[in-house]
Homo-oligomer: A and B are copies of this chain.
Amino acid sequence: MYTLLKNSGTARRGSFETFHGTVQTPGFMNVATVAAIKGGLSALDLKDIRCQVMLCNTYHLHVRTGDEKIKAMGGLHRFTKWDGPILTDSGGFQVFSLANVRDIKEDGVVFHSHIDGKKIFMGPEESMRIQSNLGSTIAMAFDECVANPAEYAYAKMSCERTSRWLYRCKEEHERLNALCDAVNPHQLLFGINQGCTYDDLRIAHMKEIAALDLDGYAIGGLAVGEHAEEMYRVITAVEPFMPQNKIRYLMGVGTPGNILEGVKRGVDLFDCVMPSRNARHGHLFTKRGIINLNNAKYETDMRPLDEACDCPVCRHFSRAYLRHLMKAREVLALRLCVMHNLYFYNRLMEEIREALDCDSFEDYYKQYIGVLDKRCTD
Contact = CB atoms under 8 A, between A and B. Distances in A.
Contacts of A74: 302
Interface in A287-320: 299-300, 302, 312, 316-318, 320
B300 A72 contact: yes
Contact of A332 (B36, B73, B318, B321): B36
Interface of A: 34-44, 60, 64-65, 69, 72-74, 78-81, 299-300, 302, 312, 316-318, 320-321, 323-325, 327-328, 330-332, 334-336
Contacts of A34: 324-325, 328, 330
Given A81-B316, A324-B34, A324-B64, A299 B69 contact: yes
Given A65-B324, A299-B65, A330-B34, A318 B79 contact: yes
Given A317-B81, A321-B80, A324-B35, A334 B73 contact: no
A318 B65 CA distance: 14
A73 B301 CA distance: 8
A301 to B, nearest CB: 9
B35 A312 contact: no
B335 A331 contact: yes
B332 A42 contact: yes
Nearest to A78: B302
The 9 closest A-B pairs by CB, nearest first: A40-B331, A40-B335, A40-B40, A36-B332, A34-B328, A65-B324, A36-B330, A40-B332, A81-B316
A284 B79 CA distance: 19
A37 B43 CA distance: 21
A81 B299 CA distance: 17
A300 B40 CA distance: 21
A327 B36 CA distance: 12
Contacts of A327: 64-65
Number of copies of this protein chain within its complex: 2
Contacts of A312: 44
A334 B331 contact: yes
A335 B321 CA distance: 19
A22 B65 CA distance: 46
Contact of A37 (B39, B299, B332): B332
A302 B72 CA distance: 10
A37 B336 CA distance: 13
Given A64-B324, A81-B316, A69 B300 contact: yes
A316 B73 contact: no
Nearest to A320: B73
Given A44-B316, A327-B65, A300 B332 contact: no
A5 to B, nearest CB: 34
A42 B334 contact: no
Most B CB contacts (10 A, CB to CB) among A36, A69, A323, A332 go to A332
Nearest to A74: B302
A300 to B, nearest CB: 5
A325 B73 contact: no
A136 to B, nearest CB: 16
A183 B288 CA distance: 34
A142 B74 CA distance: 56
B330 A300 contact: no
Contacts of A332: 36-37, 40-42
